[in-house]
Chains A and B, each alone.
Chain A
Amino acid sequence: NAGVTQTPKFRILKIGQSMTLQCTQDMNHNYMYWYRQDPGMGLKLIYYSVGAGITDKGEVPNGYNVSRSTTEDFPLRLELAAPSQTSVYFCASSYSTRGTEQFFGPGTRLTVL
């Protein structure tokens, strides 16, 4: 199993550009999550999904959108990139809702200039 994979690994955007961060898991997990990690701030939840077709906002959803058309994929969309979105983005998945381990992808380092 590849686990959780993310593409791209690095990206530089100009202000106002848009992009999609890809996330795929092959563990047949129902639950998937997007986090952003900023220095000294830990991880903040952006969006999560409890299954195909079902998504919900996390702690810091502004400026992002998600969709979940399949169990495997959970892309994160930035419509109008802003410098405040410079961060490292991690996708994660878990088997169930009740406190089971989340498995993390390798991350995407995004810089918005």
Chain B
Amino acid sequence: AQSVSQHNHHVILSEAASLELGCNYSYGGTVNLFWYVQYPGQHLQLLLKYFSGDPLVKGIKGFEAEFIKSKFSFNLRKPSVQWSDTAEYFCAVNARTGTASKLTFGTGTRLQVTL
């Protein structure tokens, strides 16, 4: 079974600091990878996704993530965070097998950006 690990549970950064959130997954086959964001009181929204091709993917609001197959990682980055990036971030993996798109989520990383 696939699993996802997010090692940073709570991250506090000052505005303009750089961000990197770790995500590792366990699955031996081909995967689709996602980062979702949940702003306070809101539902999950897609930040970015990787299906194939260029392992460096760019998403909304200046976020990017790099898929490193050899490390089973899909870390999220942003060069300069803003106060409005305060949210919870979820990494998710979908294995390209089976009959349904069943995402497995990590436990999430709560990002707090201070002014």
Indicate if B43 sits at the interface (CB-CB under 8 A). Answer: yes
Number of interface residues of A (CB under 8 A): 26
Q: Are B107 and A41 in contact (CB under 8 A)?
A: yes
Q: How far is the CA of A90 from the CA of B106 in the complex (A)?
A: 16
Please tell me which one of the listed residues B32, B102, B105 contacts residue A48 in the complex, with CB atoms under 8 A apart: B102
> For the side of the interface on B, what is the size category?
20 to 34
Query: Shortest distance in angstroms between B91's beta carbon and chain A's nearest beta carbon?
Result: 9
A25 to B108, CA, bound (A): 26
> How far is A100 from B32 in the complex, measured between Cα atoms in Å?
8
A102 to chain B, nearest CB (A): 6
Let me know if A26 is at the binding interface, CB within 8 A: no
Asked if B43 and A98 make an inter-chain contact with CB atoms under 8 angstroms apart, the answer reads no
User: Nearest-CB distance from B59 to chain A (Å)?
Assistant: 12
Confirm or deny: A12 has a beta carbon within 8 angstroms of a beta carbon on chain B: no
Instruction: Determine the residue in chain A with the shortest Cβ distance to B97.
Output: A98
Q: How many angstroms between the C-alpha atoms of A40 and B99 in the bound complex?
A: 29
- Residue ranges of A at the interface with B (Cβ–Cβ < 8 Å): 31, 33, 40-45, 48, 50, 56, 58, 90, 92, 94, 96-102, 104-107
Minimal beta-carbon separation of B68 from chain A (angstroms): 19
Cβ distance B44 to chain A, nearest Cβ, rounded Å: 4
> Is B101 part of the binding interface, using a Cβ–Cβ cutoff of 8 Å?
yes
Instruction: Please choose the segment from B14-22, B45-53, B69-77, B79-87 that sits at the chain A interface, where 4 or more of its residues have CB less than 8 A away.
Output: B45-53
A104 touches B51 (CB 8 A): no
Interface status of B9 (Cβ within 8 A of chain A): yes
In the complex, how many angstroms separate the beta carbon of A68 from the nearest chain B beta carbon? 13
B103 CB within 8 Å of chain A: yes
- A96 adjacent to B101 (CB under 8 Å): yes
Asked if B107 contacts A42 (CB within 8 A), the reply is: yes
Query: CB distance A101 to B46 under 8 Å?
Result: yes
Q: Which residues of B contact A44 (CB under 8 A)?
A: 105
